[in-house]
């Protein structure tokens, strides 16, 4: 148990911090901004309290039970993906922590509120919350960590040089 906590402290710290921040900001918005209103009333950046019964971009509106099952399955996939990585680095752990926290934050809303509290309203963009931002940033960090820092990836995209030479019929001849 202690070994697991020690090896994964950055993932756990990020996940707990993002989850608490998500739930805390939602509680403040629910207490201070009446649902369906914005503060301030006008402007590029506002806090607009809405209850989202769908998923991202308004998809699957009103299908809370389906989305709860989907969130649980998504969390299972994230855990298996993380555990399958042979040597997760700090960026990989941070990305997984953010995505797990985001999924747990919105799942918590769906289970206890029957909707997700969204409130960050920036310009013409969709209204979102800290959990949504955590998932998006987590995906971006994952992409960066895999594309730029994954040392286990081959030097080039495609099949290996040995297999390429074999397909060309040049496996015994130097190039």
Q: Please pick, among 22, 109, 121, 132, the residue that the annotation labels catalytic.
A: 132
In sequence order, which residues have a C-beta less than 8 Å from that of residue 43 and are 6 or more positions away?
A: none
Residue 155 annotated in active site: no
The answer to whether the peptide bond before residue 21 is cis (omega within 30 degrees of 0) is no
Residue 114 annotated in active site: no
49, 29 in Cβ contact below 8 A? yes
Q: Please pick, among 118, 121, 155, 171, the residue that the annotation labels catalytic.
A: 118
110, 68 in Cβ contact below 8 A? yes
Helix, strand, coil percent values for the chain (each to nearest 5): 60, 10, 30
Q: What is the dihedral of CA 16, 117, 61, 124, to 10 degrees?
A: -100
- SS3 (DSSP) at 101: helix
119, 47 in Cβ contact below 8 A? yes
Q: Name the pairing type of β-strands 116-122 and 45-52.
A: antiparallel
Annotated active-site positions, please? 118, 132
């Amino acid at each position: 148990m202690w070994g697991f906590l020690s090896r994964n402290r950055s993932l756990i710290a990020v996940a707990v911090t993002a989850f608490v921040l998500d739930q805390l900001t939602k509680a403040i918005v629910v207490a201070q901004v009446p649902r369906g209103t914005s503060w301030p009333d006008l402007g590029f950046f506002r806090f607009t309290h809405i209850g989202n019964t769908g998923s991202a971009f308004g998809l699957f509106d009103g299908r809370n039970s389906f989305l709860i099952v989907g969130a649980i399955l998504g969390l299972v996939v994230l855990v298996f993906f993380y555990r399958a990585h042979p040597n997760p680095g700090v960026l990989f752990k941070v990305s997984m922590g953010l995505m797990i926290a985001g999924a747990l934050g919105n799942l918590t809303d769906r289970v206890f509120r029957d909707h997700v509290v969204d409130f960050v309203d920036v310009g013409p963009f969709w209204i979102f919350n800290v959990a949504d931002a955590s998932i998006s940033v987590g995906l971006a960090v994952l992409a960066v960590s895999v594309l730029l820092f994954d040392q286990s990836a081959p030097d080039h995209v495609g099949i290996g040089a040995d297999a390429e030479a074999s397909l060309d019929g040049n496996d015994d001849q130097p190039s």
